Each structure stands twice: as C-alpha cells, then as structure tokens.
Amino acid sequence: MGTRSIILIRKRYPKEISSATKSFLKGPDESQYIYEYFVYMYQETDNDDMGEWIAEFLCNFLRDYSSKYMDAGFLAAKFVEAFMDRDTSCKCLLPLAPLDELYHYEHHEIYFITTDSARKFFDDKSIVLTLHRNCIISAWPEKFMTKYLQNAERMKESRIQNEVIDYGDKELEKEGYLAEDRLLTKFLNKKFNMQHRR
C-alpha cells in the first residue's frame, strides 16, 4: 500500500485586519488568523518523498520569484502545475471542504503550505511548510527536511495525539505558527473524540 498525502495551500490574515470572523473551512475559534484556502490536492504513491519534494519546490520557487509581489494564487497555480506533472502516480484535485471533513479522507499525512499576508514579496520567511502525520512539525522550506529528519524518531514514537514538535525556532514561535498548530491540534482532537463517542 502506498503513501496517501493531502496538500493544502492557504494564506493567513490577522483577524484584526480581516472583514471575516471565521475561515471558510472553519477551524479553531481561538485562532488569531483567518485562513483563505486556494487548493486541495491528493496523491497516492509508492514513494515516501512528498515532504522532500514540496520543500525543494518551495525553495526553488522562492529563489526564482524572490522579487515578485506575494500572491498566494500565483504560488498555487505554479504548485499545481508542477504537482500534476511530477510523476504518473494516482493524484487529483478535490473540492474544498471544512477542515474536520478533509481529515476524514483516508490519508497518512497532510501538508499545509501557508503564506503570510503581512509579507509584501516572496522571501525566505513568507512561506511555512507544516506536516501533520503522527505529530505536527512546521518549518521554513529550507529547514524543513533537516528538522524533519532530526525529529523523525520522536514523531514516529510519540504517543501524544497530534503532538506539535517544538524544535526551538524562536522566530517561528514569535510569528505564531506553533501556537496555531497547537490550536488546530486541540480542534481536531475534540472533533474526532466527539465523533468516536457517537
């Protein structure tokens, strides 16, 4: 059986500057951000290299478009093009749905590619890659594989449901990414526990 991956691309806006009060795909009420989702992708492959491929794509993208105005839609279009041409494995684009429903699709891992509305141009701090597997880890694209490999054993052996791996990146914490990961963990665990009690 191959690895089933879900990939979502989104842009975050601080709630205080957004006209919306909730993200379209819902999520934790306590979140300090509104998320605008652009695309939802699914792939099943015999390889286990999706995270490495995404991180490499994002690093190349940031290098090639470092002076371009920060447009999440442009990133989504470029990503989908590369994703669909990547190989001949089973893959597709799926309709967007509330987050707790997306997690019910059979999968082994989910990747969030998050852009920040506060950034005016693409740079090395404008995109964060997050992996939800047994645990959750977030990193800037150029650091993702290093941090993933350093924490692979902990992620594999953790008995804490959706544990957020904090590897000491103070800037990532300051920018609110780890706090948002923890809120999403709490939201998903609550939803799943309620459904299992039915």
161-176 tens-digit pLDDT: 778 888 888 888 899 9
> Could you tell me which of 6, 15, 5 has the C-alpha nearest to residue 183?
15
Mean pLDDT of the chain: 85
The single-letter code of the amino acid at 77 is: A
> Could you tell me which of 106, 1, 109 has the C-alpha nearest to residue 46?
1
How far apart CA 198 and CA 166 sit, in angstroms, is 33
27-36 tens-digit pLDDT: 788 888 989 9
Which carries the bigger pLDDT value, residue 8 or residue 45?
Answer: 8
* Domain residue limits, the chain: 3-196
Angle in degrees, CA 149, 128, 79, rounded to 5? 100
pLDDT-based confidence at residue 196 (cuts at 50, 70, 90): very low
The single-letter code of the amino acid at 17 is: I
3-state secondary structure at position 44: strand
How far apart CA 131 and CA 112 sit, in angstroms, is 7
pTM, 2 dp: 0.89
Element spanning 111, H or E: strand 109-116
How far apart CA 147 and CA 155 sit, in angstroms, is 11
